[in-house]
Amino acid sequence: MTDTNELTRERAIQTAQNEIVLNAAYIDGNWLTIEAPSTGSDNDKDHALYDPSSAEVIATTRLCTNEHVAMAVNAASTAYASWSQTSTHERAHYLNAIADTMAQRFDTLVGLSVLNNGKPIEEAKIDVSDAIACYRYYADIITNQDTWSEVTTSETGIRLLKTYAAVGVCALIVPWNFPMVTTSWKLAPALAAGCTVILKPSEVTLLPELMLGNILSAIELPKGVVNILPGAAEVGAAMTSHPLVDKISFTGSNVIGEKVMSQAATGVKDISLELGGKSAIVVRADADIDNACDLIIGGIFTNAGQICSATSRLLVHQDIAESLFETLKTKAESLCIGDGFDTATQMGPLVSEQQFQQVKRYFGIATSENLDCITGGKILDRAGYFVTPTIYKNVPVSSQLWTEEVFGPVLVSQIFKDDSEAIHLANDSKFALAATIVSADETTALTMALQLQAGHIWINEQQIVLPEAGWGGFKQSGIGRELGADGLSAYQKSKHVLLTH
């Protein structure tokens, strides 16, 4: 699964310059040039794309306007009539074709992700592999979904049949932390269900996302079925408020998620939201300390902590706390921080100047709150958006770092005396997306999992996310589920037909 493209920054930049269509939106199956505005407003400036490892500009492009949104929605609305009536086998064919083409361009997509997102090569490889697996999964699941199923009723002389219909035209808004992955989580089930799509990738990480337009053209997906709009917040708002949009799926911050939900109320649009997290990792007294520390590090320092499910709150049993913190400090300080194209790198930079400043601000809050920093808490004196892996010990539950999502490599911790206290601390959050339990006693861990308020729980495992497993949380972590059969259901509505026997 490779295109034999050498994974170097130079090759990735060459791809960005020669293959990515910049200054354009993908509408109705074609790249439409975004013309430079003739006015003199701030919105006329070109949009810069950065290499987070150097903070240097990789490329400049222009972003869409509300006019492009209208064109894209009209194209999707027109295409819906025919696409929604295609056979499940035809839709599966296109989903597999997307996966096949991504596999053929595997190294190219990995290189673009490293270049524009900053993540280490091995993490980017996992991302592209996960996206490919997601398209294949929904190709398989839609092929095996019965067109009609008979429902058992208490009445005689009648039959009740059930089928599924696509929800309609969908506005998909994805974040910058997992380019291609979150897109696949939304786009694959939407296409499988028979929906047409307007997709807004994050304007921060456009390079790997825009390659999708080339892929869709290469596989000859029918025109208008997928439209890609590189745009800022106003484009997202125009999408979510458009009267011809039937469903919105948004992944991002709670602040923006609440605005999206408000906009969806007009016209009573279907909505899915995957929002913030402040997930807990619970390490019981019987846990293997070395393995527990590896799981803790994977849960908070992968992707430089820029993960909605990051287990950023550590709860450790008092009997092993001292030994665990000593081992954890050593392991955190031994992580190789650097350029994602360096195969030795284990943690890359933050994605942008904005994210860099946010994490820096939380370092300042930690200092003002006199938190006990056992390692890190610093920005690195080098080019790019680099900060240290950071761990705070015995953090009060009233601390902003305990209650708020930092979205960076920042771990806060508390010590507990028994399982009931650990469960209480884990659940004492407005978020409830994920959790990890580390314990030698699987039965006890499963019992604890039933009591934890979280949509996805790992026991003695890194944060592996399978296409088959529904993804989403409780409380303010969102509405609905992605992935698995639930992910397909999010883009379908059931229909029932009653007829005589």
pLDDT at 337: 98
Dist CA 379 CA 275 (whole Å):
27
Count how many Cα atoms sit within 13 Å of the Cα of residue 138 in the half-sphere of its side chain.
Answer: 33
In the predicted model, is pLDDT for residue 406 greater than 90? yes
Domain ranges of the chain: 9-34+47-275+478-496, 280-466
pLDDT tens by residue, 182-191: 999 999 999 9
pLDDT digits (tens, 9 = 90+) for 271-281: 999 999 999 99
More confident residue, 154 or 468: 468
| Catalytic residue selected from 170, 308, 405, 482 | 308
For the entire predicted model, the pTM comes to: 0.96
Tell me which of 34-43, 54-63, 253-262, 424-433 is least confident: 34-43
Residue 226's pLDDT band (boundaries 50, 70, 90)? very high
Predicted confidence band of residue 7 (pLDDT cuts 50, 70, 90):
confident
Dihedral angle of Cα 54, 58, 63, 69, to the nearest 10 degrees: -100
Per-residue pLDDT, 435: 98
DSSP state of 221: P
What pLDDT does 36 receive?
A: 83
Taking 80 as the threshold, does the pLDDT of residue 415 lie above it? yes
Amino acid of residue 60:
T
Q: Is 308 a catalytic residue?
A: yes
Is pLDDT of 444 > 70? yes
Residue 193, pLDDT above cutoff 90: yes
What pLDDT is recorded for position 111? 97
Q: Show Cβ contacts of residue 113 under 8 Å, excluding neighbours closer than 6 positions.
A: 119, 124, 127, 128, 179, 180, 205, 208
Residue 116's pLDDT is what? 97
CA distance 35 to 56: 25
Q: Please report which helix (H) or strand (E) contains residue 164, including its range.
A: strand 158-166
**One-letter amino acid of 365:** I
Residue pointed to by tokens 């010590």: 415
pLDDT attached to residue 477: 97
How far apart CA 28 and CA 23 sit, in angstroms, is 16
pLDDT of residue 430: 97
Instruction: Answer whether CATH 3.40.309.10 is correct for domain 280-466.
Output: yes
Better-scored residue on pLDDT, 4 or 165 = 165
Amino acid occupying residue 147: T
Residue 215 structure tokens = 């892929």
Cβ proximity of 283 and 315 under 8 Å: yes
Over residues 453-479, the pLDDT tens digits come to 999 999 999 999 999 999 999 999 999
Both tokens of 295, joined, read 């799981």
Amino acid residing at 246: D
Count the residues in the chain: 501
> Looking at per-residue confidence, does 6 or 15 come out higher?
15
- Give CA–CA dist 106/96, Å, rounded: 15
What three-state secondary structure class fits 294? helix
With bands split at pLDDT 50, 70 and 90, how would you rate the model's confidence at 40? low
The first and second tokens of residue 122, run together, are: 């091995």
Contact call for residues 90 and 64 (beta carbons, < 8 A): no
Residue 404 is among the residues annotated as catalytic for this protein? no
Cα atoms in the Cβ-side hemisphere of radius 13 Å centred on 145:
25
| Residue-by-residue DSSP string for 382-396 | SSSS-B--EEEES--
Residue 316 CA to residue 333 CA, distance in Å, equals 20
8-state DSSP, 302: G
Catalytic, out of 123, 209, 274, 405: 274
> Which region among 33-42, 261-270, 366-375 has the lowest average model confidence (pLDDT)?
33-42
Task: Give the pLDDT mean for 103-113.
Answer: 97
Cβ neighbours of 372 (radius 10 Å): 11
CB 94 within 8 A of CB 60: no
User: Which residues, at least 6 apart from 162, have a Cβ–Cβ distance to it below 8 Å?
Assistant: 148, 149, 150, 151, 494, 495, 496, 497
Percent of the chain topping pLDDT 90: 94
Token duo for residue 225 = 């079925």
Rounded to an integer, the average pLDDT of 190-212 is 98
Query: Which residues have CB under 8 Å from 251's CB, separation 6+?
Result: 173, 174, 175, 182, 186, 273, 274, 275, 308
Rounded to 5 degrees, φ, ψ at 56 are -95, 150
Residue 493 has pLDDT above 90, yes or no: yes
Asked if residue 324 has pLDDT above 60, the reply is: yes
Radius of gyration of the chain (CA): 23
Q: How far is CA 122 from CA 64, 82, 162, 335, 391, in A?
A: 32, 40, 44, 15, 24
pLDDT bracket for residue 5 (50, 70, 90): low
pLDDT average, residue stretch 423-448: 98
Would you place residue 154 in the very low, low, confident or very high pLDDT band (cuts 50, 70, 90)?
Answer: confident
Q: Rounded to whole angstroms, what are the CA distances from 76 to 73, 139, 151, 198, 245?
A: 5, 21, 33, 7, 9
State yes or no: pLDDT of 235 exceeds 70.
Answer: yes
List the one residue out of 388, 364, 386 whose CA is nearest residue 375: 388
377-397 burial string, b = 16+ CB within 10 Å, else e? beeeeeebbbbbbbbbbebee
Q: Assign 43 a pLDDT band (cuts: 50, 70, 90).
A: low
Whether domain 9-34+47-275+478-496 has CATH 3.30.1330.40: the reply is: no
pLDDT band at 491 (very low <50, low <70, confident <90, very high): very high
Does residue 133 carry a pLDDT above 80?
yes
Provide the 10 A C-beta neighbour count for residue 141.
21
Report the pLDDT value the prediction gives residue 44, as an integer from 0 to 100.
Answer: 63
In angstroms, the first-to-last Cα distance of the chain is 52
pLDDT of residue 102: 98
